[in-house]
Amino acid sequence: MTNIGLCVNPGKNELVQSSECNYLCLAIKTKVITEEDSLTNIIEDYAKPYLRKGDILFLSEKMVACTQGRAIPLDSIKPSFLSRFLSKFVTRNKAGANLAMPETMQCAVDECGSIRILLAAVAGMFGKLLGQKGWFYHVAGYRAAGIDRPCDSTIPPYNNHVVLTPLAPDRVATDISKTLDDVIVLIVDVNDLGANILGSSEHIDRDYIIDLLRQNPLGQSNESTPMGILRVVSA
């Protein structure tokens, strides 16, 4: 099998530290994953050969969503007036503003409902007046926050797709974990601004793991590393 293996992406650290342990933080390079792929088979082919007892396997939420058929071609999305209007007020940032496009805002409306998105927009407006960030997504919820917009650096064909948040992330993580031995499975949404854990195969200290993933080890561009491993190397 070609294009497979462990790596550390450019600018990322192979060793990450916490107050308790040192961890190896490794990315797993794969082929381009689509809805034609079985997530279980992808894990079996690309991740399982490298896993050891006690590892934490973390999966990009985008990869999981793509296998669920939740990558939507941009030209198939028809934004409403509401979506076009609200997208104008989304704050841009260095990691990209995922709902700043009418098409991605329309996906948020479809996922969460127009009333909830309107309430989120009002909350976001008041948050800005008070100098507070994140109120929009606090009201809209994780399914709006996890929507990924297309960009030039995205691997084709997803450079012209909107990718939605994966469905049932806890259940997916649990099902994958059952096929592995003594490995915790996480579904994560990580970018250059921060990290969030959408799904976990068991109860974990989420803030602790998020701190280990803050460097965004899977990358933000076309690295083709949608999975990674955290492995304790010293206590």
pLDDT at 1: 38
- The predicted-structure confidence for 151-190, as pLDDT tens digits, reads as follows 877 888 898 999 999 999 999 999 999 999 889 999 999 8
| End-to-end CA separation in angstroms for the chain | 35
Domains in the chain, please, with CATH?
A: 5-70+166-234 (3.30.1330.100), 73-152 (no CATH)
Indicate the average pLDDT of the chain.
91
Task: Please report which confidence band the pLDDT of residue 2 belongs to, taking 50, 70 and 90 as the band edges.
Answer: very low
pLDDT at 209: 94
Structure tokens, 193: 């601004």
- The predicted-structure confidence for 128-139, as pLDDT tens digits, reads as follows 899 998 899 999
Tally helices (H) and strands (E) across the chain. 9, 9
Give CB contacts under 8 A, 24+ apart, made by 116-125.
Answer: 116/140, 116/141, 117/82, 117/86, 117/144, 118/82, 120/144, 121/86, 121/89, 124/89, 125/89
pLDDT at 13: 94
Task: Give the rounded percent of residues in the chain with a pLDDT score beyond 90.
Answer: 75
- The predicted-structure confidence for 87-107, as pLDDT tens digits, reads as follows 998 876 655 568 989 999 999
Q: 58 forms bridges with which residues in the sheet? A: 186, 228
pLDDT at 235: 61
Rounded to an integer, the average pLDDT of 179-204 is 91
Task: Give the rounded percent of residues in the chain with a pLDDT score beyond 70.
Answer: 95
pLDDT at 95: 53
Calpha distance 60→73 (Å, rounded): 20
DSSP state of 222: S
Structure tokens, 43: 């894990």
